[in-house]
Amino acid sequence: MLGPVVMDVSGTTLTEDDRRRIASPLVGMVILFTRNFENPEQLRALCREIHEAKPGVLISVDHEGGRVQRFRDGFTRLPALAQYGRMYEHDAGEAIRASWSHGYVLAAELLAHGVDFSFAPDLDLDWGHSCVIGHRSFSRSPKVVAELALAMIDGMHAAGMATCGKHFPGHGWANADSHKELPEDTRFQAEIIGQDAKPYAWLGSALDSVMTAHVMYPDVDAIPATFSSRWLQDVLREKCGFQGVIFSDDLAMGGALGLGGIVQRAEAALRAGCDALILCNDAAQTDDLLSGLEWKATPQFAARASRLSPRRAIESMESLQSDPVYVDAKKRVPATDADLVDWEE
């Protein structure tokens, strides 16, 4: 990752404006969405185009399974993570094995199309409150979340892809949608750290990166966790011992808007301890950020960011068909339970 900014692109091929933005020394990663996908061949061509436009830039996607699966045609349909939590209740070993397979298939198929990185797995606890988490969570139990997430992480690593736990310290309690407004979690700090943040402490160095939550926890700080050094430095770095990359959640989301203009938001996130800044769906703000943010690379940033690069090259989906690990893993990914399908993004 060459710089701290994670930006999106407009369509299924690069425009001149896309190329101009990607060329900025601040841009280290491009994130893709469903609008950037027509079919597998087009996706491979777009990824080649991005990599050729700026060698070293990474390509990412939010591709977890369930409703958050950006690419469908030509990809294995991955179930919501809650399905593995339900399996765990009846057969913990089989659930762990299936979660490993989920991670392997997810990562291998993305790598085969030229995508370097996925923001997965989700580590939020399902308290039954959040309108944006729900079935994206493995479980309400931090122990079950950590066990199943570790299996998924091991599967992604085996395929050659780095991982990202989200949304620190936890987005599963607060009801509001942080895409639109700022949620508040009014519990005491000890409960949040002892429950929602526990998987981060247990997983430790297995996680290559973490994404923050645009959620405010008034018992700890009067600003969202993305902009809070108490959460990112004192808890995540010090108490949990996390040494990887910290991504902000999208700085254009409603939960982040109270910190000023886009450059002010980015500076606040960096001061708090974020290493990387996601900004999507607002070309004008992206231009403002790239022209207004002052940032210098450090050896610490380079060391953390180096963990995000793919550890394995997969030439094509055809080559995966001769990979016995992939063939077996794909068989072990369960079909989606009908009652775990809610809404799609």
Task: Examine residue 223 and state whether it is found in any structural domain, yes or no.
Answer: yes
Each residue's pLDDT tens digit, 6-54 = 999 999 999 999 999 999 999 999 999 999 999 999 999 999 999 999 9
Mean pLDDT for 248-261 is 82
Q: Which DSSP category does 139 fall into?
A: -
pLDDT confidence of residue 341: 66
SS3 for 27-65 is EEEEEECHHHCCCHHHHHHHHHHHHHHCCCCEEEECEEE
pLDDT for residue 125 is more than 80: yes
Task: Examine residue 140 and state whether it is found in any structural domain, yes or no.
Answer: yes
pLDDT confidence of residue 130: 74
pLDDT confidence of residue 103: 98
Domains contained in the chain, number: 1
pLDDT band for position 315 (50/70/90)? confident
pLDDT for residue 302 is more than 50: yes
Mean pLDDT for 89-116 is 97
How many C-beta atoms lie closer than 10 Å to residue 316's C-beta?
Answer: 12
* Extended beta strands in 150-271, E state: 164-168, 209-212, 245-247
Between helix 262-272 and helix 283-292 the angle, nearest 10°, is: 60
Q: Which of 18, 126, 208, 249 is catalytic?
A: 249
Mean pLDDT for 141-153 is 98
CA distances 25 to 1, 85, 183, Å, are 11, 42, 33
Task: Examine residue 197 and state whether it is found in any structural domain, yes or no.
Answer: yes
> Token pair for residue 317?
């989906």
Domain that holds residue 113: 77-288+295-331
- Nearest C-alpha neighbor of 83 from the set 71, 75, 91: 91
Q: What is the CA radius of gyration of the chain?
A: 19
Mean pLDDT for 108-123 is 97
Task: Examine residue 44 and state whether it is found in any structural domain, yes or no.
Answer: no
pLDDT for residue 177 is more than 70: no
Task: Examine residue 57 and state whether it is found in any structural domain, yes or no.
Answer: no
- Identify the weakest region by mean pLDDT among 15-24, 103-112, 175-184: 175-184
Each residue's pLDDT tens digit, 42-88 = 999 999 999 999 999 999 999 999 888 999 999 999 999 999 999 99
pLDDT confidence of residue 205: 87
Q: CB under 8 Å to 291, separation ≥6 — which residues?
A: none
pLDDT band for position 254 (50/70/90)? confident
Q: Which of 51, 129, 154, 179 is catalytic?
A: 179
pLDDT confidence of residue 344: 45
The pTM of this model reads 0.94
Task: Examine residue 181 and state whether it is found in any structural domain, yes or no.
Answer: yes
pLDDT band for position 176 (50/70/90)? low
Query: What does pLDDT average to over the chain?
Result: 93
166 marked as binding residue: yes
pLDDT above 90 coverage of the chain, percent: 84
pLDDT confidence of residue 304: 96
pLDDT for residue 225 is more than 80: yes
Q: Does the annotation mark 116 as catalytic?
A: no
Q: Which residue has the tokens 């291998």?
A: 108
pLDDT confidence of residue 43: 97
113 marked as binding residue: no
pLDDT band for position 335 (50/70/90)? confident
pLDDT band for position 307 (50/70/90)? very high
CA distances 107 to 12, 48, 274, 278, 296, Å, are 21, 18, 25, 21, 31
Q: Which CATH number covers residue 312? A: 3.20.20.300
pLDDT for residue 178 is more than 80: no
pLDDT above 70 coverage of the chain, percent: 95
pLDDT for residue 200 is more than 50: yes
pLDDT band for position 149 (50/70/90)? very high
pLDDT for residue 343 is more than 60: no
pLDDT for residue 285 is more than 60: yes
pLDDT band for position 339 (50/70/90)? low
> Is the Cβ–Cβ distance between 256 and 226 less than 8 Å?
yes
Q: What is the DSSP string of 190-206?
A: HHHHHTTTHHHHHHGGG
pLDDT for residue 345 is more than 60: no
- Nearest C-alpha neighbor of 83 from the set 110, 106, 64: 64
Task: Examine residue 344 and state whether it is found in any structural domain, yes or no.
Answer: no
230 marked as binding residue: no
Largest CA distance in the chain: 54
In degrees and rounded to multiples of 5, residue 301 shows phi and psi of -60, -45
Q: Does the annotation mark 250 as catalytic?
A: no
Q: Which residue has the tokens 């995000």?
A: 308
What's CA 328's distance to the chain center, in Å? 26
Task: Examine residue 68 and state whether it is found in any structural domain, yes or no.
Answer: no
> Is the Cβ–Cβ distance between 272 and 232 less than 8 Å?
yes
